[in-house]
Amino acid sequence: MSTLDFSKLSRKERICYLKDIANLTEQEMEILQAGKIELEAANRIIENVIGTIPIPIGIATNFVINGKKFWIPMATEQESIIRDASKASEWTLATGGFRAYNTGSVMIGQIQVLRIKNYERAKHQIFAHKQAILSLANTQSVTRRAVDLRVRELKSPHMLLVELLVDVKDSMGANIVDSMCEAVASLIESLTKGKVNLRIVSNLATKRLVRVEATIMKDLIGGENIADRIVSACAFAERDPFRAATHNKGILNGVSAVVLAVGNDIRAVEAGAHAFAAMSDKYSPLSFWAKNSNGDLEGVLEMPMAVGIIGGSVSSHPTAKICLKILGVEKATELGEVAASVGLACNLFALYSLVTKG
């Protein structure tokens, strides 16, 4: 079914259509039809509940990622995002859809150590007792494991960072990483003869990257002149952080809508995206567009994606659970690939609109 066909259906017909695709139960159908979260459920998710604020959820269509077709729930209050993502993804179908890759599911936990008198000795002691530190961290979980650690020395002011690298599997990971950092804090103090201050996950998940690529045939977007103008628009973002901020906001229009629909932490994902964009000498775009030898567009997006399919509100929010079921992802890494693909699609259509109708 095309985007146009799906958009012509009534809301009830859309839900009935998705019932067959995702094998939704009658109860799940009722939750979608109601379009709200019951206060009893809300009270289990956050504290001091007084009400809820509904956000519309729609379905982005035409997405094929690594050869698999997806119906993608997106939660957003902004008009046209779902339509534009669906249109841009339709352009990718002629070349096989999106190609997505990931670097795994390792998160970074940071333990800040102050008041160290001998930094070389402290670093030596940490590495000498590396296995003991990892073993102690791993008492916090049977399945999610601290697989390595690294040590960094910062100056002005002087401090040592002991960083746990934790494979969080299919969870978002913040809670277990924080628990592991807490568990090893006393041992690290003893080894370094310093004083532990912060013990917390980093949202700059550079060990949890997603890369998405797409090829757009020039004739589908109006010819090589349009492709040239999109490339020039991207070059503008590469050279100017004021433009790059808006360029990346267009990407996050799509990414955040997917992340929110499945009950993940949009603030963590957005913080990681902006920090990753600023890791070079200046703030840069997360996606890049160029022409290939045929004059067709080649796009690539790379960003951290700390998302999960278990734990937190993913497991407690009834609508988020249904959205995850409709999406049909099997791993957290696949969820990240889907969200990034939607981000690249939104970015493409935004650039196309800017260089054509404005």
Do 93 and 112 lie in one domain? The reply is no
Both tokens of 6, joined, read 């799906």
Do 129 and 16 lie in one domain? The reply is no
State which residues form the domain around 330: 3-99+208-355
Band (pLDDT 50/70/90 cuts) for residue 225 is very high
Do 67 and 118 lie in one domain? The reply is no
Do 119 and 239 lie in one domain? The reply is no
State which of 149, 172, 201 marks the end of a domain: 201
C-alpha 70/C-alpha 49 separation (Å) is 34
Do 214 and 350 lie in one domain? The reply is yes
State which of 170, 201, 232 marks the end of a domain: 201
Do 287 and 313 lie in one domain? The reply is yes
Do 261 and 147 lie in one domain? The reply is no
Q: Which residues contact 303 (CB under 8 A, 6 or more apart)?
A: 209, 210, 251, 255, 272, 273, 276, 277, 286, 340, 343
Band (pLDDT 50/70/90 cuts) for residue 105 is very high
Q: How far is CA 279 from CA 85, 207, 221, 247, in A?
A: 28, 14, 33, 17
In DSSP terms, 303 is beta-bridged to 210
- Looking at the chain, how many residues does it have? 358
Question: How many CB atoms lie under 10 A from the CB of residue 53?
Answer: 7
Query: Which CATH number belongs to the domain containing residue 224 in this structure?
Result: 3.90.770.10
Give the residue-averaged pLDDT of 246-255: 98
Predicted TM-score of the model (pTM): 0.92
Both tokens of 40, joined, read 């009893």
Q: Structural domain tally of the chain? A: 2
Do 197 and 212 lie in one domain? The reply is no
Do 182 and 218 lie in one domain? The reply is no
pLDDT digits (tens, 9 = 90+) for 277-330: 999 989 999 999 999 999 999 999 999 999 999 987 777 788 899 999 999 999
State which of 147, 167, 201 marks the end of a domain: 201
Does position 23 have pLDDT exceeding 90, yes or no? no
